[in-house]
Structure 1
Amino acid sequence: MNPFALLNLQAQMTSLVMDTHAVMTLRLMGMSGAIPARRGENNRMVAEKAPAMAKAYAAASKAAMAGNTPDKIISAAMAPLSRKVRANRKRLMK
């Protein structure tokens, strides 16, 4: 495996972790009343988990069945999660 592929994977993971941390912080602050929260945000938070994980699992499975390298399989799994988390961060920061 190419060392640059690992570096790219690490950058993707770092971005996902940072966005996830921001979303969790914003949601906790909204639940505590520290910042205004949209109506139904708690339900949305729970309802979006299963579909996002199913998309990640499907993407990883497809990449694995295509014979991709482990870094590409992990990257494929993170892509739908990263899109969802990034969209949540942008929406919650408005």
Structure 2
Amino acid sequence: MSETKVVQTEVDMEVYRTLKAVASAEKKPLKEIIREILRDYAEKKKKKLLEEVEKDPIWEAVGLLETNEEDASERDDWGVPEW
């Protein structure tokens, strides 16, 4: 089972009545309807965020660094500062 987090917020009465009506029509608890709405919203936003990240020009630079060492990317100490 996945980890969950309880969240709490307020909604205006019109939104509440609409959500209650949807829950009643679908014969589901109100909190299940709200979970579905939040899940769908989060998935939609996550997809959009990932698309924006993929457009970032930094990804065009990945792999452009040249070194004289053939195994530089496989070394554990490459790019790690000595503290």
- TM-score, length-scaled by structure 1: 0.32
Higher helix share: 1
- TM-score, length-scaled by structure 2: 0.36
Larger Rg over CA atoms:
2
